[in-house]
Amino acid sequence: LVENRLTFAYQPVVSARSHRPAFFECLLRIRTPNNLVIPAGQFIPLVEDMGLIRQIDHFVLDHAVGELRADPHAVLAINVSAYTTGDAAWLRRLQSHNRSMPGVMRRLIVEITETAAMRNLETAQHFVETVRSTGARVALDDFGAGSSSFRHLKSLQVDIVKIDGLFTGRLGEHPKNLMFFKALLDLAKGCGFETVAECAETPQDAMLLAATGVTYLQGYHFAKPELIRLKGSPVLPLGSAPPQE
């Protein structure tokens, strides 16, 4: 943080019908002094143990808002930790950004994991309501990974549900995964939420998942996270029907 070596890698989330980017998920990275890039999975557990995760989440918010302000075409998704769902200071910071830059929040998506919601559902509900009051959207990440998925979907008024990659990978080898995926998808669609299939890693996976009627796809088949996002890349307004090919 002090040396300004935190940065984003961007991975597109694409329309399942057109394969055009709808938004980009911002994935945190550290640049080392010798220009190596360290992914979040290698340092976030240590950050949490050191009690620094809220500082990181504040940085992520500020950095994403700065990107949105600089690029009026961008729609970005950020991840926040379970600790931040109960962080009143983070919510005040979000509201401050909304007051100083009206309209920008409509291009921000805040992702919370189902595991975070499990810790304290009432706190998660307040967090979701406050974020959505600014115009930002909320995505429930890793849906299906928790033990109380039905309760969370009923209780949290999110905008997007990202179905866990446990049910979307290598569908040709594990056909039962598609059955579970469709059950979770039908539940989310029945509640009126947009949906994302995570971990679409192969052409076959992408084809099978798109055929289910899921809204968006995300995975290495389309793109790996890159440090540079395509400036001015076309995006679809969230909630709109993607154009036909």
Encode the chain (245 residues) as per-residue pLDDT tens digits. 999 999 999 999 999 999 999 999 999 999 999 989 999 999 999 999 999 999 999 999 999 999 999 999 899 999 999 899 999 999 999 999 999 998 899 999 999 987 777 778 889 999 999 999 999 999 999 887 655 556 666 778 899 999 988 888 778 778 888 998 999 999 889 889 999 999 999 999 999 999 999 999 999 999 999 987 655 554 544 444 433 33
- Write the secondary structure of the chain as one string of H (helix), E (strand) and C (coil): CCCCCEEEEEEEEEECCCCCEEEEEEEEEEECCCCCEEEHHHCHHHHHHCCCHHHHHHHHHHHHHHHHHHCCCCCEEEECCCHHHHCHHHHHHHHHHHHHCCCHHHHEEEEEEHHHHHHCHHHHHHHHHHHHHCCCEEEEEEECCCCCHHHHHHHCCCCEEEECHHHCCCCCCCHHHHHHHHHHHHHHHHCCCEEEECCCCCHHHHHHHHCCCCCEECCCCCCCCECCCCCCCCCCCCCCCCCCC
pLDDT of residue 234: 47
- 114 token code pair: 């189902």
pLDDT of residue 230: 58
pLDDT of residue 237: 47
pLDDT of residue 208: 93
